[in-house]
Amino acid sequence: MDIDLGDVVASFNLRVKGHRHFRLVWRIGRVTGTVPADRIVKPPPYAEHTGRRDAIMDLMADQQVALSIAFTDEVGNPVATPEGATASFTVDDPTVINLTDNGDLTAVAAAVGALGTATVHVVSTLDGKTVTGDLAIVVVAGLAERITIVPGEVSEVTPDE
């Protein structure tokens, strides 16, 4: 309940003792290099963009990152993974991120080479409740490893008179 007091709003919450509210928290693993097989676009299902983002990270165009989830209570304290919890990972733009759902509350997100942003969406079901989370991955250019010769403007060697 919110009570508007002018410049201040007083908020009051009621909770049932013993009733557990869970929240998902992203755990981002070690970033590693990719191989060409990691950059192949996978078929649907793809996530629908929710507009929400719980976290944002940058990933170079030739890297991949391990993802997992952790659970917290309603005030943010870490709790053990509830028994029987399941999770399903999807991505909204497979042309930017190739996502592999490992089926065990973990996934691997690999940049396919194109620069851009993709949102990884996870849905977890526990105790009959559904909890979701969204991680935006911004794929940025990697380190300089090659050079390109850039030709300038073409001009005649022997000018016509």
Residue 26's pLDDT is 73
* pLDDT tens-place string over residues 8-26: 888 877 767 666 666 666 7
Distance, first Cα to last Cα, the chain: 88
* Number of domains observed in the structure of the chain: 1
Q: Kindly report, residue by residue over 37-56, the tens digit of the pLDDT.
A: 777 777 766 666 666 777 88
What is the predicted pLDDT for the residue at 96?
94
pLDDT band at 58 (very low <50, low <70, confident <90, very high): very high
Residue 15: predicted pLDDT: 67
Question: Model-level pTM?
Answer: 0.65
Query: DSSP states of the chain as a string?
Result: -EEE-SS-EEE-----TT----EEEEEEEEEEE--GGGGSPPPSP-PPP-S--SEEEEEETTEEEEEEEEEE-TTS-EEPPPTT-EEEEEES-TTTEEEEE-SSSEEEEEE-S--EEEEEEEEEEETTEEEEEEEEEEEE----------------SS---
Phi, psi of 67 (to 5 degrees): -125, 145
Task: Determine, yes or no, domain membership for 17.
Answer: yes
| Segment 110-157, tens digit of pLDDT | 999 889 999 999 998 887 788 888 999 999 998 888 888 989 999 888
Domain ranges, residue 16 = 2-140
Within-domain flag for 70: yes
Report the CATH number that the domain containing residue 96 is assigned in CATH: 2.60.40.1080
- pLDDT greater than 80 at residue 28: no
The reply to whether 148 falls in a domain is: no
With respect to residue 160, please indicate whether it lies within any of the assigned structural domains.
no
pLDDT of residue 135: 92
Q: What is the pLDDT of residue 70?
A: 87
Q: What is the pLDDT of residues 69-116, one digit of tens each?
A: 888 877 778 888 888 888 999 999 999 999 999 998 999 999 998 899
Q: Answer for the pair 47, 120: CB distance below 8 angstroms, yes or no.
A: yes
4, 33, 69, 80, 140 from 122: Cα distances, Å: 36, 23, 9, 18, 23
